Copies of this chain bind each other. A is one copy, B any other.
Amino acid sequence: MHWPDRRLLDLFGIEHPLIQAPMAGPNTPALAIEVAKAGGFGSLAAAMLTPEQLRAELQQVRQQTDRPINVNFFCHTPPVADAAREAAWCERLATYYAEFGLSPADADKGPTRAPYSAAMGEILLEYRPKVASFHFGLPDEALLAPLRAAGILIVSSATTVAEARWLEARGVAAVVAQGAEAGGHRGMFLTDDVGAQPGTMALVPQMVDAVKVPVIAAGGIADGRGIAAALALGAAGAQIGTAYLLTPEAKTSAIHRAALAATDDGSTCLTNVFTGRPARGILNRFMREVGPLSPLAPQFPLAAGATTPLRTAAEARGSGDFTSLWSGQAGRLARAMPAGELTRLLVEETAQARARLG
């Protein structure tokens, strides 16, 4: 396969400019391994892992492939506890707690998603993944310097041109242009204006014009047509998340899989009710009744403390009413097939779409 833009291939040491998006929760080492073996860029999602869990995942990857890999972290500012705000949130959820026979004491305590830390850095220095990527900006330079010194490339997501410029000025090797269609958490870090977030079609060419580093298009891309479109817009490659959620290698729950299979182009919206930060998921009862964007949600990720028991209780009844059903707007295009096979199919479809354009 000849690719018109070799920048990411040379930079990351991969065959195809297809990045499997890190997806905290459903991500697994097996997913990253199969994508890597098929020539794409496999990613681990460390945001909800302890350092020891990340070590185990990297160990599993290294046992099965020596292909380059991406490890992704959140790098949000740790939340400041705000007892009044968290109490108001619990109060808002009280009727649901009653519905499921839960008590306020059942709420999880403490953050469920830890920002990147020196402890994680030590593991990266041990395993030397090709790329350490970040969501919500970048950690302090003091945390990045050891990675840079070890030759680990730094990548992060930008939801606006201004964010891409900010990242480029801080030495990232590439920028993920996260269009508004993307599933999961918005990577936004210089703005909190959800309504102004540009879609992929508008964002990518403007970002390509503004920065010199390669731009990776993300958001609404789930098949070869979208990948070819991303390349036409000037992106050096595409990052694909939701399309991998139906692979057997992803540990997507049965409830999440069923919701994805029933989704269409208008099923998702941005919500902050699960974690405190805006993220795109399939609209369900909890989002509809409490959000989808609620001013009451505590600071990320503290909102999750009170919502997780509801999720667990509802799922035990077979319901996804309180589950964060993350999905981009092209979830409908996801296909249930092994991740390696899907990666090869995406490459083949991209070639077909390019040939149709020629």
Contact = CB atoms under 8 A, between A and B. Distances in A.
Given A180-B199, A197-B266, A198-B265, A205 B226 contact: yes
Interface string A176-212: 0001110000000001010111111111011100000
A328 B232 contact: no
Given A206-B330, A264-B162, A329-B203, A357 B228 contact: yes
Contact of A201 (B207, B229, B266, B268): B229
Nearest to A332: B206
B198 A220 contact: yes
A292 interface: yes
Given A206-B330, A220-B202, A329-B202, A266 B226 contact: no
A323 to B, nearest CB: 18
A249 interface: no
B196 A283 contact: yes
Contacts of A225: 205, 232-234
A8 interface: no
Interface range, A side: 35 or more
A160 B263 CA distance: 13
Given A232-B229, A333-B206, A181 B160 contact: no
B198 A266 contact: yes
Interface string A147-174: 0000000000000111000000000000
B232 A357 contact: yes
A230 interface: yes
A222 B7 CA distance: 25
A205 B266 contact: no
A263 to B, nearest CB: 10
Contact of A266 (B162, B219, B229, B268): B162
B233 A226 contact: yes
A353 B4 contact: no
Given A191-B266, A330-B206, A199 B196 contact: no
Given A180-B180, A264-B162, A358-B358, A330 B202 contact: yes
21 contacts: A4-B358, A160-B266, A161-B266, A180-B199, A191-B266, A193-B266, A193-B269, A197-B266, A198-B329, A199-B199, A199-B201, A199-B219, A200-B200, A200-B201, A201-B330, A202-B265, A205-B330, A206-B264, A229-B229, A229-B233, A232-B232
- Which 9 pairs from chain A and chain B are nearest by CB? A199-B199, A202-B220, A202-B329, A201-B220, A229-B229, A228-B232, A200-B201, A229-B232, A202-B330
